[in-house]
């Protein structure tokens, strides 16, 4: 199985909707996923993700399934007096300071909830979490598109790849309209392990003459 984790296209500031440029990006995503050959589509229930996904669903004639657990995370942390940031967008200089960076218990509890939701989702797709591996209960070669968000995508990837959450947040990035590919690798009939084949791929945008929205690095996200 391969997961294609897609961050929604360019969002309008302060709105749960795409910009005109975002709609153009979403059309290019649909073309890219048509070439890949997607078998199933899952999507966050938030409007900006749905708007992104609809171009792919219509082009590929696939019926999407909305999954509430894929919506963007509303996890915020204080890092300066009277200023909060999304937990996944804390400055790396803070996360990597000369001391262990510990997340509040509330954030850790919500991360556990996301992990449980992920494990349930993947078990429905035929891969049952067992320790740090996945038991291949019903292995297959389907290609699954999942339309999600920046913070959610980074957090989910940290879980899938069993990497430290705060270091993953500060060390990786997902641009709007990016595609990340996770392959459930099997060397036996019993076990599968997620392997990242590519993260934050925006080559489809460049080929279409659309610049990646690098300015998003400096935005605060909903």
Which residues 6+ apart lie within 8 Å of 99 measured at CB? none
Confidence class of residue 27 from pLDDT cuts 50, 70 and 90?
very high
Distance CA 108, CA 104 (A): 6
74 neighbors 88 (Cβ within 8 angstroms) = no
Residue 222: pLDDT band by 50, 70, 90 thresholds? very low
Contact status, residue 1 vs residue 125, Cβ threshold 8 Å: yes
152 pLDDT exceeds 60? Answer: yes
Span 211-220, average pLDDT: 61
- Full-model pTM: 0.94
Q: Does residue 220 register a pLDDT over 50?
A: no
CATH superfamily of 2-216: Phosphoglycerate mutase-like (3.40.50.1240)
Mean pLDDT of the 141-158 span: 98
Residue 221's nearest CA partner among 12, 81, 23 is: 12
Using an 8 Å Cβ cutoff, are 56 and 45 in contact? no
pLDDT of res. 215: 53
Give the pLDDT score at 214: 60
Q: Judge whether residue 137 has pLDDT over 80.
A: yes
Cβ atoms of 5 and 33 within 8 Å: the answer is no
pLDDT in tens, 158-208: 999 999 999 999 999 999 999 999 999 999 999 999 999 999 999 999 999
């Amino acid at each position: 199985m391969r997961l294609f984790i897609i961050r929604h296209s360019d969002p309008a500031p302060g709105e749960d909707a795409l910009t005109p440029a975002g709609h153009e990006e979403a059309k290019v995503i649909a073309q890219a996923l048509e070439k890949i050959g997607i078998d199933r589509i899952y999507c966050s229930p938030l409007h900006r993700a749905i708007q992104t996904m609809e171009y792919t669903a219509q082009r590929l004639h696939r019926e999407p399934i909305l999954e509430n657990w894929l919506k963007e995370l509303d996890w915020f942390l204080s890092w300066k007096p009277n200023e909060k940031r999304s937990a996944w967008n804390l400055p790396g200089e803070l996360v990597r300071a000369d001391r262990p960076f510990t997340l509040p218990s509330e954030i850790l509890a919500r991360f556990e909830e996301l992990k449980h939701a992920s494990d349930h989702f993947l078990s429905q797709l035929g891969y049952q979490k067992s320790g740090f591996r996945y038991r291949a209960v019903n292995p297959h070669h389907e290609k699954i598109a999942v339309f999600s968000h920046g913070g959610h995508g980074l957090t989910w990837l940290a879980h899938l790849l069993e990497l430290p959450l705060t270091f993953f947040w500060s060390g990786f990035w997902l641009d709007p309209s990016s595609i990340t590919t996770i392959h459930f690798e099997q060397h036996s009939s019993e076990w599968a392990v997620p392997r990242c084949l590519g993260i934050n791929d925006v080559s489809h945008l460049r080929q279409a003459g659309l610049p990646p929205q690098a300015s998003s690095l400096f935005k605060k996200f909903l």
